Chain A
Amino acid sequence: MIIRNVRILGGEPVDLRIADGVIAEIGPGLEGPESVDGGGAIALPGLVDLHTHLREPGREDAETVQTGTQSAARGGYTAVHAMANTSPVADTAGVVEQVWRLGREFGHCDVHPVGAVTVGLEGRQLAELGAMADSAARVRVFSDDGKCVDDAVLMRRALEYVKAFDGVVAQHAQEPRLTSGAQMNEGVVSGRLGLTGWPAVAEEAVIARDCLLAAHVGSRLHVCHVSTAGSVEILRWAKSKGWNITAEVTPHHLLLTDDLVEESPVGAYNPIYKVNPPLRTRADVEALRAALADGTIDVVATDHAPHPVEDKETEWSAAAMGMVGLETALSVVQEAMVETGLLDWAGVAQRMSVVPARIGRLTGQGQPLQVGAPANITLYDPSVRTKVDPSAFASKSRNTPYEGMTLPGRVVATFLRGRPTVLEGKLV
């Protein structure tokens, strides 16, 4: 198969010959029987998400492995890491293998289950991390996401233990006592709105502690969804020591701020903006963008968190936390990072494909588009601007904060090992 007229990382137009799931030839004017017209789209290595909630098993009303991976494919992803906070929790080899097999069966993108760090996400006893690592799912990323491993001894042991199989602990940094009942970023807006504040220090203190722990035991730490300027400062310092620490930021924390809770087109206190960690201030957004640009934050991860309508159409404090993100991630990153001149497309590819695959220890993903590499390819047209229409999402859930917003770019096609999962913006 030939993919015609694409610009690798935004470079000169070329054709790609795909054979046996691999890029066989790159050059202008390739001859071949079947072809897909790229129309001058940018070609990126297939995106890799380190932080996706697929909700299956347990909350199939919100998302399933099938709909979640369809959503991923439409967003240009060829691999996702499925978070462990399902029901039952993915804390055994049995559950991670179930999720892994469902991913294989549907085939819209690769599914790499994340294993829970502690049994039932309870923060008391280590889950059988080794069994999950040795299972068919080959788990390398472990996280109690949604909950913080706040016990310092348990966190230390987890960091140490996963060294045996080159795993990484992905920490949801949130000091629980400081965030008891917390509803939104603690600041000017929360004070006015009378919503219990979620102080930045609750995130920053845990990140600081975890960096020191990881350094002490010589382990690998990944920090989930960094949301504050202070966290960025701590990470910058920790990385300057040469410690093995990586961090992610979500698209929404690169674009949205806490004042939307008070004033937005969808009304005050609309829980569509309720998310954990909460939306922060403009200064935080600027710091996160700068950190993603200079590499202090390594990757963009969506924290795609589907919720059914009834869990969001409520009063603020009763609503579920989270936003769907897979199908808007690349557009938001273009808006926040590319349009602002902070990143070029090579930089986007690093942060949304190459490095996340490396952190997850995925071998067949996140490879630069060159001859011999697996044909995991995302074709993206950055020239259009469209209104976000949640009814067009492949995700089962519609809880997007971008509804009605005009965002740049469109995923034209996605290829998973040479097989199209999305063509002309539609699922194959």
Chain B
Amino acid sequence: MNRHLISAGDLAKDDALLILDTAEELARVSERSIKKLPTLRGRTVVNLFFEDSTRTRISFEAAAKRLSADVINFSAKGSSVSKGESLKDTALTLEAMGADAVVIRHSASGAPYRLATWVHGSVVNAGDGTHEHPTQALLDAFSMRRRLGGLEGRKVTIVGDVLHSRVARSNVLLLHTLGAEVTLVAPPTLLPVSVGSWPCEVSYDLDAVLPKSDAVMMLRVQKERMNAAYFPSEREYSRRYGLDRDRFAKMPDDAIVMHPGPMNRGMEIAAEVADSARSTIVEQVANGVTIRMAVLYLLLGGEIA
């Protein structure tokens, strides 16, 4: 394992499998009535969140606490950052406090790489701009592996705003590493012009891809894209790329539906699809804590008691 987890592309297959397997072990801990392990006692994990993301922050916080780490939550709002402090100065402050790991969420792509040049502790990317969100990809892979029994040769379809999606980037890299076959489906405006160089297939036709999918991951459409001429209207997007009941019926009977949340119900995914038994959306949240425990545990070199 590297010292940091910034890109899913940094994980070799063995690393990724080690994280998933470790998470399986830790999942058993989560099933106990006392969920806490002493492995990271005395270690400090800082949650450095420059973007509001209560879901991800709580997930990392729960993961660190279950491993008995001391957790410091640093939110940019109302802090020295809102008074104009630079990322570098914030990093040096955390360094002086002796952070063993910094979990960073930032609106600027690449911010975790910059942070890693200024701190000695491990840097975990909790989502950077439109770049990556590797723990999301890991929890998605974990969820798929549990439902589908394995990822080798599985067909995973990722649908939506790939251009601006850090979830899509991390998933394409990790799923490729793990031997799955990824197909991206989106209107051409929401795909990078260079998507042909990615290790995946690309289609503009969701209906053609659905019957061949073992898992379908719907991406959130951000409100700000809706008014920026990426597509004509919400309704047209929903008609062409939304996973409604009719499309859901075209999927194989054992195929699963995923969404990293938060969802726009009725836009990219119909409510009854999101709530169906084949949806892993709630599991994904639970698995998020487990996978983040595994990541912190492996990066900080704890031992399973």
A residues whose Cβ falls under 8 Å from a Cβ of B: 183, 186-188, 190-197, 199, 267-270, 310, 313-318
Chain B nearest CB from A296 CB (Å) reads: 26
Is the C-beta of B132 less than 8 angstroms from some C-beta in chain A? yes
Chain A nearest CB from B211 CB (Å) reads: 28
Size category, B interface: 20 to 34
Chain B nearest CB from A281 CB (Å) reads: 11
Residue among B86, B116, B129, B198 making CB contact with A194, cutoff 8 Å = B129
Q: Is the CB of A318 within 8 A of B108?
A: yes
CB within 8 Å of A: which of B45-99?
A: 86-88
> Mind listing 19 A-B residue pairs with CB under 8 Å?
A186-B193, A187-B193, A193-B109, A193-B110, A193-B131, A194-B109, A194-B164, A194-B169, A195-B130, A267-B116, A270-B114, A314-B86, A314-B88, A314-B114, A316-B109, A316-B110, A316-B114, A317-B107, A318-B108
Given A190-B194, A194-B129, A194-B169, the answer on whether A317 and B109 have CB atoms closer than 8 Å is yes
Chain A nearest CB from B36 CB (Å) reads: 35
CA distance A317 to B132 in the complex (A): 15
Chain B nearest CB from A391 CB (Å) reads: 19
Chain A nearest CB from B260 CB (Å) reads: 15
Is the C-beta of B259 less than 8 angstroms from some C-beta in chain A? no
CB within 8 Å of A: which of B124-140?
A: 128-132
Q: Is the CB of B88 within 8 A of A188?
A: no
CA distance A58 to B304 in the complex (A): 59
Chain A nearest CB from B11 CB (Å) reads: 15
Residue among A195, A310, A313 making CB contact with B109, cutoff 8 Å = A195
CB within 8 Å of A: which of B244-293?
A: none
For B108, B128, B169, the residue with the greatest tally of chain A CB atoms inside 10 Å of its CB is B108
Q: Is the CB of A267 within 8 A of B193?
A: no
For A193, A195, A197, the residue with the greatest tally of chain B CB atoms inside 10 Å of its CB is A193
CA distance A270 to B113 in the complex (A): 9
Closest 9 CB pairs of A and B: A269-B110, A191-B192, A194-B131, A194-B130, A191-B194, A315-B108, A194-B109, A268-B113, A315-B111
For B107, B117, B164, the residue with the greatest tally of chain A CB atoms inside 10 Å of its CB is B117
Is the C-beta of B154 less than 8 angstroms from some C-beta in chain A? no
Q: B115: nearest residue on chain A (CB-CB)?
A: A315
Given A187-B193, A191-B192, A197-B193, the answer on whether A267 and B166 have CB atoms closer than 8 Å is no
Chain A nearest CB from B118 CB (Å) reads: 9
For B110, B113, B131, B193, the residue with the greatest tally of chain A CB atoms inside 10 Å of its CB is B110
Given A194-B132, A315-B108, the answer on whether A269 and B87 have CB atoms closer than 8 Å is no
Q: Is the CB of B108 within 8 A of A267?
A: no
Residue among B106, B164, B193, B198 making CB contact with A315, cutoff 8 Å = B106
